[in-house]
Every structure is written in C-alpha cells, then in structure tokens.
Amino acid sequence: MFLDAEGRYILWNQQYVNIYKRSSDLFQPGARLADTLRIGVERGDYPEAFGREEEWMKTRLDKLFNPDGRHEQTLTDGHTILIEERAPVTAASSGFASTSPK
C-alpha cells in the first residue's frame, strides 16, 4: 500500500484488500488512511483496538507518520502481520505487511 504525504491512498494490492476486508470498500485513491482505520476499528478489523479505540488510533497514526521500524498487528482471523512503515523518500509513504501462520 502506498500513501501520499498526507496519508491518502495512492495504490494498494489485492492482498491488502483481503487482509482488511471489513473496510476494503473504503479504499479509493485520495481516501485518508486515518478515516479507513477509524471505520475499520468500528467494523472490527482491528481486534487490538477493542476497548481502547482512541488510544489505538493515536498509536497507529503515530507509527504511520513517525515510522521507526516494524510492528506487528493481529488480525481478526488470528493471524499476525508484520508492518513496516517507511519514511517517504519524496512526498509519499508506503507500508508493507506480511502474514505469518497462526
């Protein structure tokens, strides 16, 4: 998934859609990742956010806009993905996720 400097979607692949299927209908060029994250939290895409939604959002957006390496995220199906945020070389940002077995 690639974002512009303001955190808006530029490009994503089918695997990204499959991972975040509860909020994938929101993925559009120019849509803000922060908005899709918030709706994804409401729809249950992020089980780690249950009961601490605002704290989770703050932490997640901080990781996005101030990348300092990799972090793990647990999905609703029990899988854990590894997310690597990267500071933009230009005016864009990218994130990479990989899955691991349960």
Q: What angle do CA 85, 97, 93 make, to 5 degrees?
A: 30
The two structure tokens encoding residue 18: 């499959």
pLDDT value for 94 = 54
pLDDT, one tens digit for every residue, the chain (102 residues)? 888 888 899 999 999 999 998 999 999 999 999 999 999 999 999 999 999 999 999 999 999 888 888 999 998 889 999 998 887 665 555 565 666 666
CATH of the domain at 86: 3.30.450
Question: How many other CB atoms are there within 10 angstroms of residue 78's CB atom?
Answer: 9
* Bridge partners (DSSP) listed for residue 2: 11, 94
Find out whether 7 and 64 touch, Cβ atoms under 8 Å.
Answer: yes
Which residue in 48, 41, 53 sits closest to 73, CA to CA?
A: 48
pLDDT value for 102 = 65
Number of domains in the chain: 1
How many whole angstroms separate alpha carbon 19 and alpha carbon 76? 9
pLDDT value for 76 = 87
The whole domain housing 48 covers 2-100
